[in-house]
Amino acid sequence: MIARLSKNIYMILIFLFLYAPVAVLIVFSFNKARSRAVWGGFTLEWYRKLFQNSDILRALQVTLIIAVVSALISTVIATVTCIGLNALNRRLRNLIMNVTYIPNITPDLVTGVSLMLLFYFIGLKTGFATLLLAHIAFNIPYAILSISPKLRQLDRNLFEAALDLGCKPRQAIIRVILPEIMPGIVTALILTFTLSIDDFVISYFTAGNQVSTLAITIYSMARKSVNPQINALSTLMFLTVLVLLLLVNIRTTRDLRDKQNQGDLSK
């Protein structure tokens, strides 16, 4: 009894600890008072102002364009890479996959700084282009990790069956392999889009002075003054990313379940 009670209290504390800051943020984004400590009544004022703030709108535009374009490009590159990797022998494939994992565990700071140095080194002026390149670069490993399991699940005879039925190799990939791994590709698109919106550190180092993403804008606004618009903007971003991540999670668990069901059938 007491054990269960303490277990529950422990759970509640953890969730409180995890979500209290966000909850406060969301609540205060509707706060009439400018203060971050006093509740002055409900208002949508900050949201209205947010959508009149030209800096923020420009940053939103940049963020969305970067997210969409980098998601598309990195997913295409990852898809091609995965199909190529799948045709390699196991040892080489594992080697390349392991190299692919490394950027995932490198701190963003290191990635950001090193990309910035690289751009300086090859003489690229930081701006929209470098920002885009950076986002594509850090998205590719995540896209590969979303797509490659799908390819590995694939019956390896499917490709041969397509050839056997008259497909040229390229046709076989387009008509059979791509439709089969489409769920992985869609997951990769959503995930890379989300990561791109979410990123601050790498963007900060690679965007230069002229271009700004939402995350960078929020950061500079927060440094200058107390502005409740930040709360509103952060709330919106939190909800967007939350929805997208939920989507990814639902897709992967559904996948896992399908795979288990198939496993049961084949036994």
Partner 1 sequence: MKNYFGKNKRKSVDVPSATSPNRLGNQTGPSHIIEVIGVNKYFGEAHVLKDITFYIRNNEFITLLGPSGCGKSTTLRILAGFEQPDSGDVFFEGKTILNTPPHQRKLNTVFQRYALFPHLNVYDNVAFGLSIQRKLSRAEIRTRVEQALRQVNLEGYGKRWVDQLSGGQMQRVAIARALVLKPQILLLDEPLGALDLKMRKEMQIELKNMQRSLGITFVYVTHDQEEALTMSDTIIVMKEGVIQQIGRPTDIYNEPENAFVADFIGESNILPGRMTRDFEVEIAGHSFVCVDPRPGSDDVDVVIRPEDVRLEAPTENSISGVVSSVVFKGVHYEMLIETDQHEWLVQSTEKANEGSHVGLAFDPDEIHIMKKSEHSPDRQPTVPDGDAKFPEQSPEDDW
Binding footprint of partner 1 on the chain (CB under 8 A): 89, 155, 157-158, 160-168, 171, 175-176, 179-180, 182, 262, 265
Q: How far is the CB of 76 from partner 1 (least distance, A)?
A: 20
Nearer to partner 1, 104 or 171 (CB): 171
Contact 85, 149 (CB under 8 A): no
CA distance 40 to 30: 9
Taking CB atoms within 8 Å and a gap of at least 24, the contacts of 12-16 are: none
Residue type, 28: F
Q: How far is the CB of 177 from partner 1 (least distance, A)?
A: 10
Q: 94 or 249: whose CB is closer to partner 1? A: 94
Comparing CB distances to partner 1, the nearer of 104 and 262 is 262
Residue 183 CB, nearest distance to partner 1 (Å)?
A: 10
Considering the complex, state which of residue 13 and residue 88 has its C-beta at the smaller distance from partner 1.
Answer: 88
Place of tokens 């898809």: 79
Minimum CB separation from partner 1 for residue 165, in Å?
4
CA 186, 192, 195, 200 dihedral sign is negative
Backbone torsion region of residue 53, taken as left when φ is above 0, otherwise alpha when ψ lies between -120 and 50, otherwise beta = beta
